[in-house]
Amino acid sequence: MSKADNSSADAPKDFIREIIQSDLDAGRVEGLVTRFPPEPNGFLHIGHAKSLCLNFGVAEEFGGRCHLRFDDTNPVKEETLYIDAIKKDVSWLGFDWGEHLYYASDNFEQLYTWAVHLIENGKAYVDDLNAEQMREYRGTLKEPGRNSPHRDRSVEENLDLFARMRAGEFANGEKIVRAKIDMAAGNINLRDPAIYRILHETHPRTGDAWCIYPTYDFAHGQSDAIEGITHSLCTLEFEDHRPLYDWFVANLPVTAAPHQYEFSRLSLSHTVLSKRNLKKLVDDNNVNGWDDPRMPTLSGFRRRGYPASAIRTFARQLGFTKSGDSVVEMANLDFFVREALNKSAQRRMAVLDPLKVVIENWPEGEVDWMDAVNNPEDENAGKRKVPFTRELYIERDDFMEDAPKKFFRLSVGREVRFKYGFFVTCTEAIKDENGKVVELRCTYDPETRSGSNPPDGRKVKGTIHWVSAEHAIAAEVRLYDPLFNRPDPGADGDFQDDINPDALTINRSALLEPSLAEAPISEAIQFERLGYFCADPDHTPAAPVFNRTIGLRDSWAKAQKKG
Ligand code: ATP
Ligand code: MG
């Protein structure tokens, strides 16, 4: 993520970086200026991470800067809540816009002046057609459009009407300002597109100062120009808008001419990535808010314990192409999450489905504090103490009656190592009236305390995890699977019909080693042999709540294949 990355062998190479390099080499631009331009009408998702890592990434690599600009031109859908969430997510991902925080709404007065400029030059007019009529007049891909009957209003009349629009004399939709370009243009975006519309709405930043607002298309390129953006990077759906942006720049007294380059959008399997659909999931209570850990939002991933570094690494290896949006497997993201967590996550012991173990030759009330390694991948992570006592809990599926030979865990008559603790032999399984095993009676060998082997040279094949019954803390653990039960939700109809009803399972029987009461929120920890988990924002030391971040291996994909 530093400038040095540019020269390193693994620095990404793509057509965008090639263009930037050649523009800088040829002196066509003095320094690189990019921007990330979200519309504050929802939370950021993993697709935005691709754009963020590109825009902020190239700025860092080429010694330029990247602005954060909110394209806040539609007060009907935009909220301060979203502005705050977006800023938090961009920072969390590790990007710093410094003093370069902008809003399209900062430019409203300038944009108004430029609309007046177009009118004065006969290049824009006030129209009375309503939305439906405008659609009719627009024509189709095969047929040219028709001129509006109001297209030839005089400059004076247009100026007067526009001023009166601003003064609030008209209702929503009663008038609209359109650029006067060409109703027969092959590119429909050039068929006299709307540039100003009436919206009697309170804006999150300008309040009630305006009742007319520039369209996204009229604000976007001009905001780039005002900020001196040299390379305006966006996704392919804006390719057809580029001729319009260029038309505005050519016909307005702007001082810079930003070039726009389009790249492929990221789509991810087993989820949806458009804010409209994500908002629907939130509004219909399919999930518990934008930061629900099942959501592909940055705040959802954060809450779930995905490290920002893993998302950056994932985004950085995605390709940038000029055509076709390809679907990336969710498993690809998971790979980078596991890789990062294996290196960084502390290890702890926890039991999700507890089975009681009583060590009969262990003195009542005695506690032996064992040394446990915090992270075998990181020498500096140190050690902690875990209490070994007469009554312990192990994972129910670490015991089996009539176990086959290859079952290297506990069974009556078999011996295993209790991790960081002793060799333990199971002598008896106690059952309830239904025949369910409810307790194991065991013995331990005092000569096998962690680190020592028995003098007779005896070995065990299995090592299992455990918690002390006396010290363990009870927790709620939220287990997540993909939110959709097919890779391409909505491909055969409504995407909400493809929601996986079992994407969240709540486990209320989990028992954790005591140090987990103080676990930092959203920082993933490996529960040994079970997977990665993190304390949820709902967690308190008195009422622990954990999320499963991700399993140790991709067991879900395997189950899907089998099923
Ligand atoms: P959505 O379609 O999800 O609502 P959007 O494009 O409307 O997204 P914006 O807030 O306008 O969202 O996006 C900010 C920037 O992020 C834009 O430059 C856009 O091109 C980029 N972006 C959005 N979605 C993706 C994606 N899936 N992959 C790559 N870049 C994206
Ligand atoms: Mg959009």
- Residue bearing tokens 């309830």: 432
DSSP state of 266: P
Identify the pLDDT of residue 2. 41
Cα 498 from Cα 92, distance rounded (Å) = 31
Nearest atom in ligand 1 to the alpha carbon of residue 50 is 29
Helix H or strand E segment including 101: strand 101-103
- Say if residues 41 and 74 touch (Cβ distance below 8 Å): yes
Exposed, middle or buried by CB within 10 Å (0-12, 13-18, 19+), for 207?
exposed
Sheet-wide strand order for 65-70: 33-36, 65-70, 101-103
Which candidate in 39, 61, 78, 513 is catalytic?
39
Q: For the chain, how are helix, strand and coil distributed in percent, rounded to 5?
A: 30, 25, 45
Told to judge if 406 belongs to the known catalytic residues of this protein, a careful annotator would answer: no
Q: Which CATH superfamily is domain 109-214 in?
A: Glutamyl-tRNA Synthetase; Domain 3 (3.90.800.10)
Q: Quick one: tokens of 53?
A: 């890592």
Q: Quick one: tokens of 137?
A: 């007049």
- Say if residues 548 and 533 touch (Cβ distance below 8 Å): yes
Identify the pLDDT of residue 299. 98
Ligand 1 pocket test, pick from 51, 58, 231, 268 with the greatest ligand atom count within 8 Å of Cβ, gives 51
Centre of ligand 1 to C-alpha 244, Å, is 19
Q: Which CATH superfamily is domain 475-562 in?
A: Ribosomal Protein L25; Chain P (2.40.240.10)
Cα 420 from Cα 126, distance rounded (Å) = 78
- Say if residues 349 and 467 touch (Cβ distance below 8 Å): yes
- Say if residues 352 and 395 touch (Cβ distance below 8 Å): yes
- Architecture of the domain spanning 348-468: Beta Barrel (2.40)
Strand, coil or helix: 523: coil
- Say if residues 275 and 296 touch (Cβ distance below 8 Å): no
The full DSSP string for 306-325 is: --HHHHHHHHHTS---SS-P
Nearest atom in ligand 1 to the alpha carbon of residue 55 is 18
Tell the residue nearest (CA) to atom 3 of ligand 1. Answer: 274
Q: Is-same-fold flag (348-468; 475-562)? A: yes
Cα 355 from Cα 407, distance rounded (Å) = 17
The residue among 464, 450, 551, 469 whose CA lies nearest residue 512 is 469
DSSP state of 153: -
Told to judge if 142 belongs to the known catalytic residues of this protein, a careful annotator would answer: no
Cα 85 from Cα 97, distance rounded (Å) = 15
Ligand 1 pocket test, pick from 34, 39, 48 with the greatest ligand atom count within 8 Å of Cβ, gives 48
Which candidate in 65, 178, 180, 275 is catalytic?
275
DSSP state of 100: -
DSSP state of 254: -
User: For the chain, what are the domain ranges?
Assistant: 8-19+28-104+217-334, 109-214, 348-468, 475-562
Q: Quick one: tokens of 453?
A: 């082997």
Centre of ligand 2 to C-alpha 168, Å, is 27
Which candidate in 265, 449, 486, 529 is catalytic?
265
Q: Looking at the domain that runs over 8-19+28-104+217-334, which CATH code has it been given?
A: 3.40.50.620
Exposed, middle or buried by CB within 10 Å (0-12, 13-18, 19+), for 422?
buried
Cα 468 from Cα 354, distance rounded (Å) = 11
pLDDT in tens, the chain (563 residues): 443 344 444 566 899 999 999 999 999 999 999 999 999 999 999 999 999 999 999 999 999 999 999 999 999 999 999 999 999 999 999 999 999 999 999 999 999 999 999 999 999 999 999 999 999 999 999 999 999 999 999 999 999 999 999 999 999 999 999 999 999 999 999 999 999 999 999 999 999 999 999 999 999 999 999 999 999 999 999 999 999 999 999 999 998 888 999 999 999 999 999 999 999 999 999 999 999 999 999 999 999 999 999 999 999 999 888 877 778 999 999 999 999 999 999 999 999 999 999 999 999 999 999 999 999 999 999 999 999 999 999 999 999 999 999 999 999 999 999 999 999 999 999 999 999 999 999 999 999 998 888 999 999 999 999 999 999 999 999 999 999 999 999 999 999 999 999 999 999 999 999 999 999 999 999 999 999 999 999 999 999 999 999 999 866 555 555 54
Told to judge if 265 belongs to the known catalytic residues of this protein, a careful annotator would answer: yes
Which residues contact ligand 1 via a Cβ below 6 A?
37-39, 47-48, 50-51, 234-235, 265-266, 273-276
Identify the pLDDT of residue 326. 77
Centre of ligand 1 to C-alpha 491, Å, is 21
Cα 186 from Cα 208, distance rounded (Å) = 38
The residue among 220, 151, 225 whose CA lies nearest residue 191 is 151
Q: Quick one: tokens of 385?
A: 């103490």
Cα 548 from Cα 167, distance rounded (Å) = 55
Cα 326 from Cα 356, distance rounded (Å) = 50
The sign of the torsion formed by the CA atoms of 278, 281, 282, 288 equals negative
Cα 317 from Cα 261, distance rounded (Å) = 19
The residue among 165, 170, 171 whose CA lies nearest residue 196 is 165
